[in-house]
Amino acid sequence: MHIEFLEIGGKENLRPYWQKYLSKALLLVFAVDSSDPERFPVAKEHLHEVLRLDPILPLMVLANKQDLPSSCTITDLHDALSLSDAGERALFLIGTHVKKGDSELSSGVQDARDLIIQMVSGSRFRAV
């Protein structure tokens, strides 16, 4: 299986490309620094802007930096991003952390990888 990931940033000059790439996407993976709650309102705004472009596209939110003591809980991040307003789509919120130089994937990253493979291999989600 070959899975292609495309990272598109949130800068204003990149936003016109969102719709172009979302039309071919099987899943939106949205990563958030869970140790930086001051940026949650901006993350929420951009996330919901993207979600409006495709009301059924499955969403996986990666709550990164869960290994830091300053990280918020998954429940707090769910509330801060208003994920209950994400519509009638498949929604997954997974706590992750990645350390530089660490050759082993954290259990959250492994879970995300396994779920992505399951989702794009044609199980219960739409195909493009």
Q: Which of 25-29, 38-42, 111-115, 116-120 has the lowest mean pLDDT?
A: 116-120
The pTM of the full predicted model, rounded to 2 decimals, is 0.83
Q: Which amino acid is at 61?
A: V
The domain limits of the chain are 12-120
Give the C-alpha separation, 128 to 122, whole Å. 10
Q: For 3-28, how does the pLDDT look when each residue is reduced to its tens digit (9 = 90+)?
A: 777 777 667 787 777 778 787 788 88
Q: Name residue 64's amino acid.
A: N
Residue 71 makes CB contacts below 8 A (sequence gap 6+) with: 34, 35, 63, 65
For 83-104, the pLDDT digits (tens) are: 999 989 999 999 988 776 666 6
**CA atoms within a 13 Å half-sphere pointing along the CA-CB vector of 70:** 5
Q: Homologous superfamily of 12-120 in CATH?
A: P-loop containing nucleotide triphosphate hydrolases (3.40.50.300)
State the Cα–Cα distance between residues 40 and 16, nearest whole angstrom: 22
